[in-house]
Amino acid sequence: MGNPKNPRNPKNPRNPKGGHAVDAAVATTSCLGVVNPMSSGIGGGGFMIVQSSSTSQTEAFDSRETAPLAASQDMYAKNLTTKSIGVLSIGVPGEIAGLHEAWLKHGRLAWSKLFEPAIRLAKDWFLIAPYLANAIKVSEQKIMADPGLHEVFAPKGKLLQAGDTCYNIELAHTLMAVANHGPRAFYNGSVGEKIVKDVRDAGGILTMEDMRNYRVEVMDAMAVDVMGYTILGMPPPSSGTLGLSLVLNILNSYGKLDFAKGPLGLHRFIEALKHMFAIRMNLGDPKWSQLKDHGTSHFCIVDAERNAVSMTTTVNYYFGAGVLSPSTGIVLNNEMDDFSAPIDNSGNKLPPAPANFIKPNKRPLSSMTPIIILKYCFVLIFVIYVLDNRLAGVIGGSGGLSITPAVIQVFLNHFIIGMEPLVVVEHPRVYHQLIPNVVLYENWTIINGDHIELLEENKSFLRERERT
C-alpha cells in the first residue's frame, strides 16, 4: 500500500510551504478517532470528497467497510440482534486505507507527522467533552458489557463524565505503528493480527484474508448542476448525492428562488423528501427504521490554495459494535447492520431491499452526504472576463438517515435564502422518511444550553397538512 515516508506523488513530503487540505484531513480524522471514539475512528470507514484547486479535478474516496468473506445473506436468521451489536456486526474497517490513498495522491507532509497530535492525545490524556460524556451515559449498557470499553471509559467501575481525563494507551501504540509503517501494519501486520485475534476470540468471523483483501475505491465525484451551483458528492454506495439531486430538482421546478421560504416552502420540502425516500426504496437503501446510527463525524477543510476536503467518517452506532479491541484500543464498527436482512421486516419499515442483502466483500449503502459546492462566476484574467467554476462551500453532516435532509436544508437556507452560516447550522430542521407517515421537527435543548425549536407558525401549518 505504499511507503509512508515516500509518497508516489512528486511533491516533497516535507514541503516547506505547508501541507495540503488532505494532510489536515488525515490529522483531523486521527484526532477525532481519539477524542470522539463513539462516533468515528480507525475501526470504521468513511467517504471523502477532495477538490484540487490546481487541476479542478474532484475525486471521491470510498473507504466504506466491507462484509467479511464468511458473511452471508442469512447469517442473522437465528438472532437478528447480532446484526447490530457484538462481533458478528463488525465489517472490515476502511478508514486507514482511505486516508492513505488520499494522502498518496495529494499529501505533502510526512505521513508519520500527521499522527503525532492523535498519538499525544491517546497516550497522555484528553478531557471528556460534554458530547462524549452524553454518549458514554446513554451507552452505559454497552460499555459495562465489553471489557475493552469498560477499561477505557469506566476505568474504576464508574462511567467517565464531562471534564474527566481519559487515556487509551493501546490506541496510542496502534497509531504509532500505523504512523511508522503505514496501512501495511493495519491490513497485513501486527495491528491487523491483533484485531482479528480479539474478534475471533469473542466469536467473530473476521480474518487476516479479509484485512488483506480490503481496497479503497477511488472515482470521479458525482456532479449535479442545480439552482446555479455545481454540487459534487459521492456516487453509490452513498445514496446522499442522488437524494439531494432529486429533492433540489423537484423544488427548482417551482421556478422562483423563494420556493423554500415560509410554511409553504417547508411543506414543499417535506413532500419532496417523501418522494426521495420512495425512490430510494428502488435503490435498495439499507435502513428504513427510526434513526439509530449516531456514530458519525463530519468535517470540512479548505486550505490556503482553495483545495477542499469534505469527509464523513463513522463507526455506525455510538461505540459501533460495542466492542473495543483490548490489544489495539480500537472501537470497532457495526456496519454490518447497514445491510438489509431478509427477516428484518417489522413495524414502521419498508420491506428489506434485496439489492442491499449481504454478500462477501460487499459494501452496504449509506446516507453519508459529504459535498463540495461550486458556483460559476466571471473572473478577470488580464483584460478578459472568463466564466469560471469557483469553490463556494463545503457541507456535510452526521445522523444517519437525517444526514441528507439536513444537508439539503443547510444548502437551501444559506445558498438560496441567504442565511448566515452560524444561523443556518442552528436553524431548526424537519425530517420525513415516508414510512411512518410522520413529520419530525426539532424541539430540543443542545449541550451548550441553547434551545432549538420550529416556529409555532410552521408547526401549526404542518399540523393541518401532515402528521407531526
8 Å CB contact between 46 and 142: no
Instruction: Please choose, from the candidates 293, 384, 328, the residue with its C-alpha nearest in 3D space to the C-alpha of residue 42.
Output: 328
Sequence ranges of the binding site? 64, 314-316, 338, 366-367, 400
Domain boundaries, the chain: 21-125+167-466
**Across residues 207-231, what is the average pLDDT?**
96
Q: Name the H helices within 298-340.
A: none
In this predicted model, which residue has the larger pLDDT, 236 or 407? 407
Question: Residue 3 pLDDT > 50, yes or no?
Answer: no
Q: Which residue has the cell 472576463?
A: 385
**Across residues 269-283, what is the average pLDDT?**
75
pLDDT tier for residue 8 given thresholds of 50, 70 and 90: very low
The per-residue pLDDT for 289 is 34
The per-residue pLDDT for 465 is 67
- Between the two ends of the chain, the Cα-to-Cα distance in Å is 51
CA distance readout (Å), 212 to 17, 45, 97, 261, 457 = 36, 16, 11, 51, 56
The per-residue pLDDT for 352 is 72
What is the DSSP annotation of 256-288? STTTTSHHHHHHHHHHHHHHHHHHHHHHT-S--
Which of these ranges, 116-130, 189-203, 278-292, has the smallest mean pLDDT? 278-292
**Across residues 87-110, what is the average pLDDT?**
98
In this predicted model, which residue has the larger pLDDT, 268 or 184? 184
pLDDT tier for residue 281 given thresholds of 50, 70 and 90: low
Q: Give the model confidence (pLDDT) of 243-267 as tens digits.
A: 889 899 998 888 766 666 777 888 8
Spatial neighbors of 329 by CB under 8 A, at least 6 apart, are 122, 148, 152, 168, 169, 170, 171, 172, 173, 174
The per-residue pLDDT for 406 is 87
Catalytically annotated residues: 296
3-state secondary structure of 437: coil
| Grid cell in block for residue 253 | 421546478
The per-residue pLDDT for 293 is 45
Handedness of CA 35, 37, 43, 45 (dihedral sign): negative
Q: Give the model confidence (pLDDT) of 296-341 as tens digits.
A: 899 999 999 999 999 999 999 999 999 999 999 999 999 999 888 8
Separation of CA 299 from chain center: 9
CA distance readout (Å), 443 to 195, 446, 450, 452 = 41, 10, 11, 6
pLDDT tier for residue 25 given thresholds of 50, 70 and 90: very high
pLDDT tier for residue 426 given thresholds of 50, 70 and 90: confident
What is the chain's mean pLDDT, rounded?
A: 86
Strand partners, 311: 48, 299
Q: Give the model confidence (pLDDT) of 144-196 as tens digits.
A: 999 999 999 999 999 999 999 999 999 999 999 999 999 999 999 999 999 99
The per-residue pLDDT for 270 is 85
Residue 289 DSSP one-character state: S
Sequence ranges of the binding site for L-glutamate? 64, 314-316, 338, 366-367, 400
Q: Which residue has the cell 433540489?
A: 248
Residue 3 DSSP one-character state: -
Give me the CATH code for the 21-125+167-466 domain, please.
3.60.20.40
**Across residues 219-248, what is the average pLDDT?**
89
Question: Residue 361 pLDDT > 90, yes or no?
Answer: yes
Question: Residue 283 pLDDT > 80, yes or no?
Answer: no
Instruction: Please choose, from the candidates 157, 84, 99, the residue with its C-alpha nearest in 3D space to the C-alpha of residue 319.
Output: 84
